[in-house]
Amino acid sequence: MNTVENNNNYEENARFLKALAHPTRLHIVELIRDKEPCVKVMEEVLGVSQANVSQHLTLLRHLNIVEAKRTGNQVCYRIKNPRVLKLMDMLTDQ
């Protein structure tokens, strides 16, 4: 791998880690780890507004960490990038 490829990988990894470097986003990832909850459920569990949950999910979605699925008038989420599960496993093995 040449230097340019290494730098791109470092930047991609930094964006990935930065996206997860927020307590609410870590909690969201944990919530959707084994389920596909809808925004309303996440709002209730997290104790934050729907707008706040949506902002966090938008960032995670743009970085391909999670993906959305519309069910009727609800939007539910699931993990898209399996790397996030490996990272969460390492964090919980403390």
Return the CATH number of the domain spanning residue range 3-92.
1.10.10.10
- Domain regions of the chain by residue span: 3-92
Calculate Rg over the CA atoms of the chain.
14
Dihedral sign computed on CA atoms, order 43, 46, 49, 50: negative
- pLDDT per residue as tens digits for the range 71-91: 899 999 999 999 999 999 988
State the Cα–Cα distance between residues 25 and 76, nearest whole angstrom: 15
Q: Please tell me the pTM assigned to this model.
A: 0.85
Q: Is pLDDT of 14 > 90? A: yes
Q: Is pLDDT of 13 > 60? A: yes
Q: Output the pLDDT for position 3.
A: 56
Q: Is pLDDT of 1 > 60? A: no
A 10 A CB-CB count for 56 gives 21
